[in-house]
């Protein structure tokens, strides 16, 4: 529920699509330098390393922080007024979860470990495509001279250390702590942000229900979904 609310607000508040990437003119020499730079920034196995270690630790910290959040603060995302939320007192989400599911912390930990392990394996397969995409991005962003400067820097001991660890550092314990420390403020701001998202779409017609669709529309929708038109029904959520 919490993540869904955040995702919904984020999606509604970022309606503009990212501009399409511009094609970079073919330049074998420039491409070779960019490939060397990117190979040092995204060494083989780096994403699996991140998901096997850093990601799991980061999620452990975040779930620990969420467990300490007042339930009233979270309930406001569900539509409770400020007065109603205050009526819940200082009860923490973790206290509620301990009753519903005494093993909730261990459950979340194991789920995240399973997810991270699976994602690590997937990212190993995706790494070549990620490096190719980042190479194109660097070719678009940096001149041949700038790429050569980066390549020379990454060939130094300090540069090699930075390049090999930059992704890991960006998700390390210091950054994770900063992110988790911001969670209470983000949660406090979320009702206002969701309200703004609703106001931004207030002039649009409401989403239609199945009863609002014409027979032709129901037929087309059923074909797209691969179901019987008679079995179409509104999402219960």
Lowest mean pLDDT among 7-16, 35-44, 137-146: 7-16
- 195 Cβ neighbours under 8 A, 6+ residues apart: none
Alpha helices (runs of H) in the chain, residue ranges in sequence order: 2-13, 28-41, 46-49, 55-67, 71-75, 82-86, 93-100, 104-141, 144-154, 157-170, 173-181, 183-200, 215-225
40: three-class secondary structure by DSSP: helix
The answer to whether the pTM exceeds 0.75 is no
Model confidence pLDDT, tens digit, residues 121-162:
888 899 999 999 999 999 999 999 999 999 999 999 999 999
**Nearest to 147, CA basis, from 32, 4, 23:** 32
pLDDT of residue 73: 64
Domain borders along the chain are: 26-198, 207-237
- Least confident residue range of 36-40, 43-47, 169-173: 169-173
**Which two three-digit tokens encode residue 57?**
């630790």
Q: What is the pLDDT at residue 5? A: 41
* 3-state secondary structure (DSSP) of residue 18: coil
More confident call, 179 vs 80:
179
> Between 3 and 236, where is the model more confident?
236
Residue 14 has pLDDT above 50, yes or no: no
* ∠ CA 59-174-113, rounded to 5°: 20
Mean pLDDT for all residues in the chain? 80
Retrieve residue 87's tokens. Answer: 């009526």
pLDDT at position 134: 95
Task: Single out the residue of 19, 33, 20 nearest to residue 138, CA to CA.
Answer: 33
């Amino acid at each position: 529920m919490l993540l869904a609310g955040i995702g919904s607000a984020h999606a509604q508040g970022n309606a503009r699509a990212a501009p399409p990437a511009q094609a970079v003119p073919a330049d074998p020499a420039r491409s070779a330098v960019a490939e060397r730079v990117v190979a040092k920034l995204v060494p083989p196995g780096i994403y699996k390393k991140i998901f096997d270690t850093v990601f799991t630790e980061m999620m452990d910290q975040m779930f620990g922080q969420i467990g300490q959040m007042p339930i009233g603060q979270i309930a406001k995302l569900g539509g409770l007024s400020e007065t109603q939320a205050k009526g819940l007192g200082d009860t923490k989400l973790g206290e509620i979860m301990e009753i519903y599911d005494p093993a909730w912390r261990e459950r979340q930990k194991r789920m995240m470990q399973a997810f991270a392990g699976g994602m690590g394996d997937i990212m190993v397969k995706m790494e070549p495509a990620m490096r190719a995409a980042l190479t194109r991005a660097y070719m678009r962003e940096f001149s041949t001279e700038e790429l050569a400067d980066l390549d020379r820097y990454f060939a130094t001991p300090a540069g090699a250390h930075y390049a090999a660890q930059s992704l890991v550092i960006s998700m390390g314990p210091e950054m994770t702590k900063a992110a988790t420390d911001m969670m209470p403020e983000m949660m406090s701001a979320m009702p206002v942000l969701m309200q703004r998202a609703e106001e931004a779409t207030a002039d649009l017609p409401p989403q239609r229900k199945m009863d609002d669709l014409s027979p032709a529309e129901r037929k087309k929708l059923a074909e797209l979904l691969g179901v019987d038109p008679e079995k179409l029904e509104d999402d219960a959520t």
